[in-house]
Amino acid sequence: MDKGYEKERFENLSIKRSVVKKFRKYSKSISKSNSMTLLSMVEFFENNELSPDDDLKSDLIETENRIKKRINTLIAILKDIEKNQTKPTLGMLQAIFMNVEPKPKILIEKSFEELERERINKEFKLKFRGRNEFQFKKDNKDLNNRE
């Protein structure tokens, strides 16, 4: 039963047989009763101020052309921003940093012991990178159990 229309009576409407077959097939495809299908079709045309004779294709082409014009305008704006703002700023930054000479590394004399200590520290950091306290305790217990 159609919601909101339970108490209304049915009326007859004379429609050609081929049209009725098409309509019933369409009505089943959208899974509504014939009355509700016809009502939703009429409301669609009323709400959108359309007529079944209207040509929607020309309206869609006009809308597509308007959207294309807007996109082209946006592209032109972005190109202008790039040309007038981004590239000059990049050029200035490059000019600033190209004139700066890299500082020479200062060589410091170190003893063999200091170099060996640094090497061991680096190896230790690489070996235990990403481990937490729990993992260190577990490793320590494993070492103690071996002895």
pTM confidence score: 0.40
Residues 85 and 72 in one domain: yes
DSSP 21-46: HHHHHHHHHTT--HHHHHHHHHHHHH
Residue 139: inside a domain, yes or no? no
Residues 59 and 90 in one domain: yes
Q: What is the pLDDT of residue 145?
A: 63
Residue 24: inside a domain, yes or no? yes
Q: What is the pLDDT of residue 136?
A: 61
Q: How far apart are CA 6 and CA 28, in angstroms?
A: 20
Location of structure tokens 């950091």: 125
Structural domain for 47, as ranges: 1-54
Residues 46 and 22 in one domain: yes
Q: What is the pLDDT of residue 74?
A: 94
Residues 1 and 38 in one domain: yes
Q: How far apart are CA 112 and CA 38, in angstroms?
A: 95
Q: Taking the chain (147 residues) in consecutive chunks of 10 residues, what is each chunk's mean pLDDT?
A: 76 91 92 86 88 81 92 93 83 77 75 87 77 64 59
The secondary structure of residue 86, as a DSSP letter, is: I
